[in-house]
């Protein structure tokens, strides 16, 4: 058995896959081997997510088609929840229990760009942990959004697929204005300095 604490440090930073690359838009393959190779891969995912300053990362975002994602994300009480979710299923509230919250959302695979997207304020995610043990997590606040966003990735969906044509256009425009800051191998290469001649200051 491997402790999660041993996987959140020590990995190698990998290039983050971008929207449009085939692995980002295809269904993933269930994980069946919980071995050293998987654990080293998860270490690399944590190193990559940390370098990119993200709160979640799916395997497809580093070019791998396995059904897993990682997260280090605050819930509605600002508690930082860290974990690995493998072969996940997601349950969302329905009917009178369903409350949609519009919030700015972005994706490390379309770096720099954000646009508002309404999602349910709670999410129940079930799957396996890094050792293959069953795990269940109720997400609230940003963590609820993260669980939904990352699970979408494992089914070949990016959050742009959930946007109206108008919002999608605004998202791509935002990305285009900031793309110069993210080199092709980002975050292996660090985020480039802000250039006021190329975009407006935030």
Please state, for a pLDDT cut of 90, what percent of the chain lies above it. 96
Please state, for a pLDDT cut of 70, what percent of the chain lies above it. 99
Residue 197: band (very low, low, confident or very high) from pLDDT cuts 50, 70, 90: confident
Does residue 202 have a pLDDT over 60?
no
Alpha helices in the chain (DSSP H): 36-52, 141-154, 165-178
3-state secondary structure of 50: helix
Residue 199 confidence (pLDDT): 77
- Among the listed residues 136, 150, 184, 199, the single catalytic one is 150
Whether 103 is catalytic: no
Residue 198 confidence (pLDDT): 82
Domains and CATH numbers, the chain: 4-179 (3.90.45.10)
Q: Which of 136, 160, 134, 133 is nearest to 149 (CA)?
A: 160
Each residue's pLDDT tens digit, 72-121: 999 999 999 999 999 999 999 999 999 999 999 999 999 999 999 999 99
pTM for this structure? 0.96
Provide the token pair at 191.
């985020």
Q: What is the spatial distance between Cα 124 and Cα 140, in angstroms, rounded to a whole number?
A: 9
Provide the token pair at 122.
């709670």
């Amino acid at each position: 058995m491997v402790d999660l604490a041993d996987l959140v440090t020590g990995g190698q930073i990998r290039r983050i896959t971008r929207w449009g690359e085939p692995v980002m838009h295809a269904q993933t393959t269930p994980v069946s081997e919980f071995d050293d190779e998987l654990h080293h891969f998860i270490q690399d995912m944590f190193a990559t997510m940390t370098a990119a300053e993200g709160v979640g990362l799916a395997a497809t975002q580093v070019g791998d088609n396995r059904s897993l994602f990682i997260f280090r994300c605050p819930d509605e009480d600002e508690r930082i929840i860290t974990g690995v979710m493998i072969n996940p299923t997601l349950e969302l509230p329905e009917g009178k229990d369903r409350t949609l919250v519009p919030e700015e959302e972005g994706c490390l695979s379309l770096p720099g760009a954000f646009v508002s997207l309404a999602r349910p304020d709670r999410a129940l995610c079930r799957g396996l942990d890094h050792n293959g043990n069953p795990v269940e997590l109720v997400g609230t606040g940003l963590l609820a959004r993260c669980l939904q966003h990352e699970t979408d990735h494992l089914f070949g969906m990016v959050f742009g697929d959930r946007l109206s044509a108008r919002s999608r256009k605004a998202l791509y425009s935002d990305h285009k204005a900031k793309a110069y800051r993210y080199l092709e191998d980002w975050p292996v290469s660090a985020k480039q300095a802000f250039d006021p001649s190329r975009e407006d200051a935030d």
